Structure 1
């Protein structure tokens, strides 16, 4: 059953250009002379990843993760828990191991159970679902909400974090995030280098 907060508008948002599979390189934006304008457009391009279901599903604004390209409520029903890793007795790692696991008898079109050694939800302060890309950008830059990270640490997280990297190797039955993690990291680095301006 789909979560009640997954409205038709949100479903349309998810089905839109966020499922694009290519990222433009940083050089594609060299012609934009104004650094602030270039910065905002670079973040918009990186937003193809940030707004993709591979990211949004684990960045809910509530206590329930989502799954699938259509971002339906997690099945079986689970909750965030106190440490963003599930409730006692039903931790994320109860089902999610250190690597993706193929499902032999496929059910409901799924081909694998996703896995990563650090599998967990993003903190509630970093909930993104239903927010504009500009709001996500502002949130991402705020150390009070982003886990105390400065901009260099944000670049490091986006470009090299293994759990973030799972989005490009999500297992059978899931659409990978657009581009590559390296390309995404380059866009985030260029966004920071041009002043980390947010789209309006």
Structure 2
């Protein structure tokens, strides 16, 4: 083998290795992001989230996810039926403790997602949830940065960690959830295979 051929072969090998490295790093990043998404999935599957992210039009209650009492419905904007808005019982904050453990909870803009974007994910696999929450047709027309803002600052979302009464909060700390969400989002939101 000539010295020139050996040098050319060596340069080609270096070029191939250089091209392979970003791909390997990207794959590792995807793996970490997909692992982080498992935390996101666990939070979204908790009753504090699932009870309002429903396929039907009647919200659920309690950890058992039973249909809401009093025939409450989503309504045309997600905030209750005509003459019976969610705000009829749910205020801007949780009811005072002296009202008892079963008093209606509250947070700003209490309600369900609107009927044209139900954002329903009960029973979804991690892959299905991942694809759904990234799709602007189903997530309130949000891109990843807007989703980050939604899960970090929206007071109705934050209510899940401070539900009042005898309701257990989401068991994963909000700070941990946000950190994992950001790892996933920073990688472009890769989805698990199942």
Range that drifts further, 75-84 or 179-188: 179-188
Query: In the alignment, which residue of structure 1 is the partner of 2:5?
Result: none
**CA deviation after TM superposition for structure 1 residue 45, in Å:** 1.4
Aligned pair in 2 of structure 1 residues 69, 157: CA closer, same or farther (>3 Å)?
A: same
- Give the alignment partner of residue 122 of structure 1, picking from 92, 113, 119: 113
Query: In the alignment, which residue of structure 2 is the partner of 1:28?
Result: none
- Unpaired runs of 5+ residues, structure 2, are 1-26
Q: Which has the larger radius of gyration?
A: 2
**TM-score w.r.t. length of structure 2:** 0.79
Q: Is 2:186 the counterpart of 1:187?
A: no
Q: How many residues get paired?
A: 165
**CA deviation after TM superposition for structure 1 residue 34, in Å:** 1.5
**CA deviation after TM superposition for structure 1 residue 183, in Å:** 2.1
Matches within 5 A, 1:1-200: 34-102=28-96, 110-124=101-115, 125=117, 126-199=119-192, 200=194
Task: Please list the CA deviations of residues 19-76 of structure 1 after superposition, one character each: whole Å capped at 9, or x if unmatched.
Answer: xxxxxxxxxxxxxx71222211111112221110000001011101001011111112
2:53 and 2:36 map into 1 onto residues whose CA distance is 21
1:181 and 1:162 map into 2 onto residues whose CA distance is 12
1:185 and 1:73 map into 2 onto residues whose CA distance is 29
Say what the alpha-carbon RMSD is for the aligned residues. Answer: 1.7
1:190 and 1:68 map into 2 onto residues whose CA distance is 31
Aligned pair in 2 of structure 1 residues 167, 105: CA closer, same or farther (>3 Å)?
A: closer
2:103 and 2:88 map into 1 onto residues whose CA distance is 15
- Unpaired runs of 5+ residues, structure 1, are 1-32
**CA deviation after TM superposition for structure 1 residue 105, in Å:** 6.8
Is the contact made by 1:159 and 1:184 (CA closer than 8 Å) also made in structure 2? no
**CA deviation after TM superposition for structure 1 residue 103, in Å:** 6.6
Structure whose residues are more often helix by fraction: 2
Task: Please list the CA deviations of residues 105-125 of structure 1 after superposition, one character each: whole Å capped at 9, or x if unmatched.
Answer: 75xxx5331101210102343
**CA deviation after TM superposition for structure 1 residue 182, in Å:** 2.4
- Say which SS state the counterpart of residue 145 (structure 2) adopts: helix
